[in-house]
Structure 1
Amino acid sequence: MSIEKGDKNEAEQNFKVPPIMAVPTQRSSLRSVLIVATCTIAMIVNQSNSTAVSISLPTIGDDLGIPEAKLNWIVSAYPLSSGCLLVLFGRIADLYGRKRMFCVGSLWLAAFSLGCSFSKDAITLDILRAFQGIGAAATIPASIGILAHAFPPSRARSIAFATFAAGAPLGGAFGLAIGGVLTQLTKRSWRSPFYLSAGVCAASFVMGLVVIDADLPSTETDQRIDWIGGFLVTVGLVLIVFVLSQGEVAPQQWKTPYIIALLIVGVIFVAAFLYWQYHLEKQLDDPSVPKTKWNPPPLMRLSLWTRAKGRVAVMMTVAFLQWCGFLAWCYWAQLYYQNYKGYTPLLTVIRLLPMCVSGITCNVIVAALVGRLPLVWFMAIGTGLTSVAPLLFGLINPNATYWAFGFPAAIVAVVGADFVFAGGTLFIAKVSLPHEQSLAGGVFQTMTQLGTSVGVTVSTVVFDRVLRQRSADMGVILDANADGAPKAAQLDSYKAAEWTNFSFGVLATILALIFFRGVGVVGQHRKQIDDQERTVTDPISESKT
């Protein structure tokens, strides 16, 4: 299957096809392993920065006097900033150096992680969390580009991406575990995980300087950056995610005038971004149009979403829905254990610890089979199993043993995150041109980060509405902070939130089954591949359905 005409034109006009230029001819096996380890550590830190805070939310709320209804902003601020900047930073990394971007991002993360640990009030913590996310926006797309160029299509690339992908669920589980332990057992309580994150980021910075291959000059002839597009998409996404995060806690909730206004403005900015990208892409593909400062290459070619017969768009949607369900389940599961069951952070960690074992096992499975099984197996099985976790919590009996609901949920929750991330990153890397690997990876990451914000936000809306309605049915009118709700109303609210998360997973599974049938293997187990030909052809293998 050949790539679309516009993609081929871009390859011919803006990319000089070289012989395996980005892969060093001399690199020890140890250094290759360390490159993968460095990028994987960055992914682990990125995910743990969300979940470590999530497990500490009740403690943070008590310490800083933040009502439960407003705690979700501490979680959402991080993926808000990182998700909104991934596309722009991916483009910058492709042009000016992935190693350079990775190191700058790691150093930035270390600085603002340390800053979060000194927060004295909710506003300061929210702002620093947003700045912390900017570092992740720099490191993650750069990591994808580093791996794509360090390992040509081969079994080594499959293992590298599978290991990197495992960093997402492992980081989530690691964040929950270490966050709970440090919050409960250390003198600095919830501030301790930020100290640890700062130290790991500093180590990642040093490893990046030492082991990652030196940046080579970009092979694009046109290296202008679409700053207008970057401004439009960043502002639009920031406004939309802000509204989603604040709509339920605003003075008049979703009827609040500034919530309505900001949502409309955010949608207008995103629509303007899409139109601007369409306009730039048409001008780029027309050789008669002279190059000026007003028509740089688009930040994100809209045709990227149509590649592989539109399956790229489906992959992005599945990743979005998967993260909506997975991390929202993590969010509500730990709140259920701590706020409803009354467990300490450490006891909560113990109940979520099977996620670590399951994540490691999934990584081994993906590395062994990603070059042998069709993509649909990973996508459908992964999303289907992950959706079982919120289903179990939607049906949970608080009086039942942990082994009936909690344990199987913790085992299967992480499967989809591992399978979808590994399959998705390999798929995106194979349909992307060599000079846009970090950009394409940034778009994929944007969808997962936005999924985190949207999943937590939507389930929070459901939780709050059900809590107030069920409390009113029992004769209890809650105040603005929803304090004093009956236990039965709380349980129904937790279940309703988890049913919402279950619906995300089911929809992702349906999309995977429908659209990825016929897509072949995305990983590689052949040792020799003609890289130059794959620069200008769509490598997705398709079989007859």
Structure 2
Amino acid sequence: MAAAPVAPASAANNLVDEKAIIPSAVEIQNPEGRPQCFKSTTQEVLFVLTATMAIAMGAFLSGAVSVISASVGADLGMTTAEITWMSSANTLAGGAFLLLFGKLADCFGRKMMFVLSLFFFAVLSLAAGFSKTPIVLDVLNGMMGLMTAASVPPAQGLLGTIYEKPSRRKNAAFACFSAGNPLGFVFGTIFSGIASDLFNWRASFFLLAIIYLVFSALAMFTVPKDTTNKEPFNWTTVKKLDPVGVVLTIAGVGMFCAALSSGDTATNGWKTDYIIAMLIVGAALIVAFVFWELYYPHPLVPMSIWRDKNFSLVMIVLLFGMMAFSVAEFFLALYMQEVWKWSPLTTAVHLLPMAIMGIIVNIVAGMIMHRVSNKALMLVGCFGYTIAFTLIAVNTIHSSYWAFCFPSFLLAVVGADLEFNVANLYVASSMPVHQQSIAGSIVQTVTKLCQSVGFGIGTAVFNAVGRSAKEGGRWDVATKPYSAVFWFAAAASGTSIVFAMFLTIGTQGGKEKREDEDEGEGSGEAKQ
């Protein structure tokens, strides 16, 4: 169908008060040339790499934890719930505070928040390596999740401001940035596997601290000055921060995700009183947040953006995809250690193809997003996910790694990287310059929320099948609960195909093309 002759997400942009838009002080005369805020191409490359490490932060931590979970649990005498919370605490804290930090970055500046979040993440990682008790380790993982929430909005805000105009250069920068989330998990498992095999699980956190200490130092010199207008700290600005919306989103997302993460390991499972209470109250607060944002004059999230059909569909497709990817990769790493009895290092080595494939996919994505329909790219990503998780679902204890796991890894990365590239670029184009950090927060909040939902459902499926598993059939008793989780992932990613079919996104990042408006369309979906 022909697209309307406007820029992507124009339906959302048209609903934003144009007078309220603060113009960027970064002037780019040639969108394909190096932005003037960079003194050299080296500085530009290091900045984009540092921004990528910001979005990779949470995934890096989750990947590291996934390959040392068994070792940590044995060393500290942790229960299943305490082991699960190592990963859940990071996701929970990150998801609950993302919108707040996004608003703070847009109002008061991005560079300082960006640099400090990297530095304190390194400090907390170092402290986690010295943990002596399960509760201390879980709390520190939660605090590291808080730093991930503080790092992503300013990173994406800076990228969206510096690369404001559509261009292939912007596509390349966002392709690198988008790679951080899926590749962060992979490199986290690899680095953690090597460190723990050479020393012990504590070395994984020490290595994480070293990596982010280096990047926090790099950020001080490579991140250009944030020249967008800042808000003065007064009562008017406090009202613009939407304090009621902040409380509703932190409490709502926090309680809902905490219930999902703890439901299956609670005393009476999902029937436990406080789990039911948190689910109901959390969901009610999220609904209240939506209604509040519809009428508050300075909303934390402009609800008008959801009227853009493509914006909403992209978020839904991303939600189902990440729900499947996160839980499948976590349980697959656990499967390799618990069923195949592989060491953390062996597990990490076998996950290496994901990293290599991820680099290739992101390079290709940066080169073709302005030439190939982004709807087609999203569909390729959806099918890649679905086939990948179906392959590992039919895998058995006696199956060949090369026959099922290897192609599954490659296809899963294709799905993750293509979907993230399209989503990040489209969402950045949907918001004005002074709300670029909030744009990044929206994507990451959806991601964190769906990860929590995925882990909650995946853990419940795993435990339910594990309790009732009997001998017989294609899978042995040990493999059946894992296979059930992988089938859930395949079903979730398969559902995303239905929604992707209704997308009308054309190309992004090339020269704008005006086309005849299709009959009945004209709502705002377009090529860029």
TM-score (norm 1): 0.87
Question: 2 CA distance for matches of 1:193 and 1:510?
Answer: 40
Q: Does 1:509 align with 2:497?
A: yes
**2:52 is matched with which residue?**
40
> Equivalences for 1:236-385 in 2 at 5 Å?
236-280=252-296, 284=297, 297-307=298-308, 310-385=309-384
Question: 1 CA distance for matches of 2:345 and 2:158?
Answer: 37
**1:15 is matched with which residue?**
21
What is the CA deviation profile of residues 331-381 of structure 1, one whole-angstrom value per residue up to 9, with x for unaligned ones?
111111110111111121122111111111111111111111111122111
Residue 318 of structure 2 contacts residue 419 of structure 2 at CA under 8 Å; is this kept in 1? Answer: yes
**2:409 is matched with which residue?**
410
Among candidates 475, 499, 510, match of residue 525 of structure 1: 510
In the superposition, relative to structure 1, how do residues 6 and 219 fare at CA in structure 2: closer, same or farther (>3 Å)? farther
**2:433 is matched with which residue?**
434
Q: Secondary structure at the match of 1:515?
A: coil
Q: Does 1:121 align with 2:133?
A: yes
In the superposition, relative to structure 1, how do residues 338 and 359 fare at CA in structure 2: closer, same or farther (>3 Å)? same
Among candidates 181, 206, 226, match of residue 217 of structure 2: 206
Residue 43 of structure 1 contacts residue 168 of structure 1 at CA under 8 Å; is this kept in 2? Answer: yes
CA RMSD of aligned residues (A): 2.5
The Cα shift of 1:272 comes to 1.5
What is the CA deviation profile of residues 369-405 of structure 1, one whole-angstrom value per residue up to 9, with x for unaligned ones?
1111111122111121122222112101221222111
Residue 64 of structure 2 contacts residue 192 of structure 2 at CA under 8 Å; is this kept in 1? Answer: yes
Among candidates 79, 90, 93, match of residue 81 of structure 1: 93
Which stretch of structure 1 is more off in the superposition, 494-503 or 342-351? 342-351
Which stretch of structure 1 is more off in the superposition, 10-19 or 447-456? 10-19
**2:480 is matched with which residue?**
492
Question: 1 CA distance for matches of 2:384 and 2:394?
Answer: 16
The Cα shift of 1:126 comes to 1.1
What is the CA deviation profile of residues 125-163 of structure 1, one whole-angstrom value per residue up to 9, with x for unaligned ones?
111111111111011111111111112321111100001
> Equivalences for 1:177-256 in 2 at 5 Å?
177-186=190-199, 189-218=200-229, 223=237, 224-256=240-272
What is the CA deviation profile of residues 449-494 of structure 1, one whole-angstrom value per residue up to 9, with x for unaligned ones?
22222212211100100111125x89xxxxxxxxxxxx93221111
TM-score (norm 2): 0.89
One-letter amino acid of the structure 2 residue matched with residue 498 of structure 1: F
In the superposition, relative to structure 1, how do residues 367 and 217 fare at CA in structure 2: closer, same or farther (>3 Å)? closer
**1:72 is matched with which residue?**
84
Q: Secondary structure at the match of 1:82?
A: helix
The Cα shift of 1:43 comes to 2.6
Residue 82 of structure 2 contacts residue 138 of structure 2 at CA under 8 Å; is this kept in 1? Answer: no
The Cα shift of 1:29 comes to 2.0
Q: Secondary structure at the match of 2:476?
A: helix
The Cα shift of 1:541 comes to 2.0
Residue 45 of structure 1 contacts residue 197 of structure 1 at CA under 8 Å; is this kept in 2? Answer: no
In the comparison of the two structures, how many residue pairs are matched?
501
Question: 1 CA distance for matches of 2:56 and 2:523?
Answer: 31
Unaligned runs of 5+ in 2: 29-34, 515-521
Q: Does 1:455 align with 2:448?
A: no
Question: 2 CA distance for matches of 1:55 and 1:338?
Answer: 8
Unaligned runs of 5+ in 1: 285-296, 475-486, 530-536
The Cα shift of 1:538 comes to 10
What is the CA deviation profile of residues 186-227 of structure 1, one whole-angstrom value per residue up to 9, with x for unaligned ones?
1xx111121111122222221221111112242779742111
Q: Secondary structure at the match of 1:373?
A: coil
In the superposition, relative to structure 1, how do residues 29 and 87 fare at CA in structure 2: closer, same or farther (>3 Å)? same
Residue 79 of structure 1 contacts residue 452 of structure 1 at CA under 8 Å; is this kept in 2? Answer: yes
In the superposition, relative to structure 1, how do residues 35 and 539 fare at CA in structure 2: closer, same or farther (>3 Å)? farther
In the superposition, relative to structure 1, how do residues 94 and 539 fare at CA in structure 2: closer, same or farther (>3 Å)? farther
Higher relative CO (CA 8 A, sep ≥ 6), structure 1 or 2?
2
Residue 228 of structure 2 contacts residue 434 of structure 2 at CA under 8 Å; is this kept in 1? Answer: no
Divergent runs of 4+, >6 A: 2-6, 219-222
Q: Does 1:106 align with 2:118?
A: yes
**1:533 is matched with which residue?**
none
Same amino acid, percent of matched pairs: 31
Residue 252 of structure 2 contacts residue 286 of structure 2 at CA under 8 Å; is this kept in 1? Answer: yes
**1:467 is matched with which residue?**
466
In the superposition, relative to structure 1, how do residues 26 and 493 fare at CA in structure 2: closer, same or farther (>3 Å)? closer
Question: 2 CA distance for matches of 1:270 and 1:45?
Answer: 26
Question: 2 CA distance for matches of 1:218 and 1:394?
Answer: 51
> Equivalences for 1:16-31 in 2 at 5 Å?
16-17=22-23, 21=27, 24=36, 27-31=39-43
What is the CA deviation profile of residues 226-271 of structure 1, one whole-angstrom value per residue up to 9, with x for unaligned ones?
1111111001111011100111011111111111111111112112
Question: 2 CA distance for matches of 1:86 and 1:190?
Answer: 29
